Amino acid sequence: MLRIEDLRAGVGSKEILRGINLEVRSGEVHAIMGPNGSGKSTLSHVLMGKPGYEVLGGSVFLDDTDLLALPAWKRAQAGLFLVSQYPIEVPGVSLEEALEAAFETSGRNATGLHEEILREAASLRFPISLLGRSLNVDFSGGEKKRNEMVQLAVLRPKFGILDEIDSGLDVDALRDVSRRVEQASNEDQLGVLAITHYSRLLKELRPDRVHVLVRGEIAATGGPDLAAQLETTGYAEYGVAEDDKEIVGASIFGL
């Protein structure tokens, strides 16, 4: 279980997250929706431990592990995985080398790793020809996200944060990625926090709970119907400008 209590955080002196409370149990999929600037990406970075973000108060526990006390790599070792919105290019380092190093760090036996990568790549329709290439270098938007999912599938974390996973994804890729997340949630009891601006992701990845993040606070929580409601009303009722409603609307008709 991921338990976030009164999490406050920011960059420099600016407080962006202003007291987040959230509980996501193993095997559950929660969505966090919110307009631009509501703190969605900050939340994912603070949970993962990206340098440059400052925690001002509160706590985050993954089962019994106090995540905020750990550097990013130890949070990952504790079972947290972030599917990045913008996966970084790492010249000369292949997916297999990176996963081998992650196995080496945790002392996991890497026998059969190669076969498992091939299997997951095939099921996520990530081109096998890219496996030996530099991570994310010259990958398309869809290939980057499929590649992130291959990593998640092989590393088998306890908990996954999907940061705007729908950005840069076509419908087919969105479906493949969502199926794999659901499979991990059902078979491996993966807990999921899916952060998104748009409701289109939530048509593929059916969340158990939906939270609306506005100005660094959870403004509403509900079932999947809350996402459907946001499609029609936008974020206006949370005091957010009309532009954002248009973006939510555009996502339904345009994509």
- Cα torsion 12, 59, 151, 40 to 10°: value is -50
Q: Which two tokens stand for residue 210?
A: 């939906």
213 burial (CB, 10 Å; 0-12 / 13-18 / 19+) is buried
Stretch in the footprint of another protein (CB under 8 A) among 21-29, 99-107, 234-242, 246-254: 99-107
Q: Strands, DSSP E only, in 85-184? A: 90-94, 134-135, 159-163
Cα–Cα distance for residue pair 235/244, rounded to 1 Å:
7
Q: Does 77 help bind another protein (rule: CB under 8 A)?
A: yes
Closest CB 42 distance from another protein, rounded Å = 15
101 vs 171, which CB is nearer to another protein?
101
106 touching another protein, by CB under 8 A: yes
Q: Does residue number 228 form part of the binding site for another protein (CB under 8 A)? A: no
Mark 112-131 with x for binding to another protein (rule: CB under 8 A) and - for no binding.
--------------------
Q: Which is nearer to another protein, 91 or 239 (CB)?
A: 91
Per-residue contact flags (x/-) with another protein for residues 27 to 56, judged by CB under 8 A:
---------------------xxxx-----
Report the C-alpha gap between 79 and 132 in whole angstroms: 26
The correct pick among 69, 101, 241, 252 for binding another protein (CB under 8 A) is 101
Kindly write out the interface string for residues 174-213 of this chain, putting x where it contacts another protein by CB under 8 A and - elsewhere: ----------------------------------------
Q: Is 43 helix (H, G, I), strand (E, B) or coil?
A: helix
Q: How do beta strands 159-163 and 191-196 pair?
A: parallel
- Taking Cα atoms as reference points, which of 2, 165, 199 lies closest to residue 82? 165
Q: In this structure, are residues 248 and 198 in contact, taking their beta carbons and an 8 Å threshold?
A: yes
Which residues are near another protein by CB under 8 A?
48-51, 71-73, 75-77, 81-82, 84, 87-93, 97-99, 101-102, 104-106, 134, 151, 155
